[in-house]
Amino acid sequence: MPHRPSRLTRFGLLRHAATEWNLAKRIQGHSDLPLCDRGRRDALAWGAHLGHLPWDRVVTSPLKRARETGALVNTCLGAPLMVDARLMEQSWGAWEGRALAWIEARLIRMTPGPLTEGWTFRPPDGESRRRVWRRSQAALVELSRRCPGETLLVVVHGGVLKALTYRLYRRRFMPQEKRLLQPNFLHWIFGDGRRLLPGPVNALDLTGSH
């Protein structure tokens, strides 16, 4: 665990475990699917890797896949559970349920512009990445005011995880950028009650392979 001044709140960010749509590479957004059998096994295994750290709370998105991941991981942690709706995945609107390959092909055919790339990208009837950053950042800043000096495990979604870390690492959210986050890792950020601060990404391999 990274050492920071005691007044800072430490957030360990974790993407939820797999659903059937994840395995099929379909976009979920606000669609509320439970974990698949593989996802449940993974979440329990992640709890074993995280159990040696002193967690004060577990915070999740209200969507089933995040809440279920948090509950299964917490069987090894025994921390109070909290839910915050501001940590929900990016809404993909009319594109929810579509295969990722279909969406990528669709974007290639669209004229490049604010709605197709970067922080202002917004699926039809969905929300922009900038909005995801604003609401998720607000949730964690508020938690850092309420829980100063604590260590919180935050179970979120791929879009939320990227919005939080990419903004803090000054990424433009463009396809040519080098990959920042590795799958199945824990990532750290910090809060001082006013803002979020970057911490180590890819800090702990939850598969135990490294």
**10-residue mean pLDDT series, the chain (210 residues):** 74 98 98 98 97 97 98 98 98 97 92 88 96 98 97 98 98 93 97 97 87
What pLDDT is stored for residue 5 in this prediction? Answer: 56
CA-to-CA distance for 156 and 87, rounded, in angstroms?
6
What pLDDT is stored for residue 108 in this prediction? Answer: 87
Tell me the two tokens of residue 19. 């659903």
9-205 maps to which CATH number? 3.40.50.1240
What pLDDT is stored for residue 4 in this prediction? Answer: 54
What pLDDT is stored for residue 7 in this prediction? Answer: 87
**pTM of this prediction exceeds 0.75:** yes
Residue 104 class from Cβ within 10 Å (0-12 exposed, 13-18 middle, 19+ buried)? exposed
Residue 189: its H or E element: strand 185-191
